[in-house]
Amino acid sequence: MPDLSGKVAWVTGAGSGIGEAAALALAREGAAVALSGRRREPLQAVADRITEAGGKALVAPGDLGEPEAAAKIAARIAKEFGRLDILVNNAGANLVERSWAKLTPERIKFMIDANLNSAFYCAAAALDIMRPQKDGLLIHTASWAGRFVGIVPGPAYIAAKHGVVAMSYSINMEEFQHGIRSTALCPAEVATPILNLRPKPVSAEERAQMIQPEHMADLILYVAKLPATVCLNEIVISPTWNRGYAHLAGLGPSRT
């Protein structure tokens, strides 16, 4: 597969976890990378690693759940790099208080803004740049919860991630005529900092059995380096030791 020299990627949620790993991997393959997230400090740390290795990075923080933030960041990317080839739509969040009994209007709004609205805003902003190019790739971090309904992730997270999967399919239905492709990634448990918000702590041993951020970055690179004539619509991926299956088989504790 070719490298990504000359390509420009925008990675959201780039300060940690899957986003951090994806940004570093894309930069290693030659892409210039714009980094977005709520906090500047972790984004700057990732950018420093990229530039120290000879790559190009733009730190573009913002609250992507706000309607105007994505468009402003996209405009910065277009001004700085002149194009946008890849959006890794990865920003997301969860809460400890995630059951119906604990959801409040404020918590529901936070979850939908962080996991669905932000993805829509970034996709719309990216498409505005990609259409005139007649080329572009959007890769969305949905979730196993975007495909399968369960108790652990909480109803707001599940509903939002199902929305991300549907959004990605709708992009392919409309934007194929502009040479644009969209892929929804649906990973089961990934060992990222979001696990710290689980109601029940997740041990180091359990995290070691999960998908690692670097595995997701490798998958993102694979999708990014496919020919423009190929669209991977959706990828569902899980650890071999799936804790949900283990619980059903009576082989381990429940995933909470």
**Which residues are the active-site residues?**
157
- Contact call for residues 56 and 50 (beta carbons, < 8 A): yes
Residue 223: closest CA among 254, 187, 183, 192: 183
Q: Where are the alpha helices (DSSP H) in the chain?
A: 17-28, 40-52, 69-81, 105-112, 118-133, 155-175, 204-208, 213-224, 243-248
Residue 7: closest CA among 27, 25, 31: 31
Query: Cβ neighbours of residue 54 under 8 Å, at least 6 residues apart?
Result: none
Q: Strand, coil or helix: what is 33?
A: strand
Helix axes 155-175, 105-112, angle to 10 degrees: 30
Distance CA 26, CA 98 (A): 33
Distance CA 242, CA 61 (A): 34
- The strand order across the sheet containing 32-36 reads 57-59, 32-36, 8-12, 86-89, 136-141, 180-187, 234-237
Task: Classify 147 in phi/psi space as left (phi over 0), alpha (psi -120 to 50) or beta.
Answer: alpha
Distance CA 231, CA 150 (A): 29
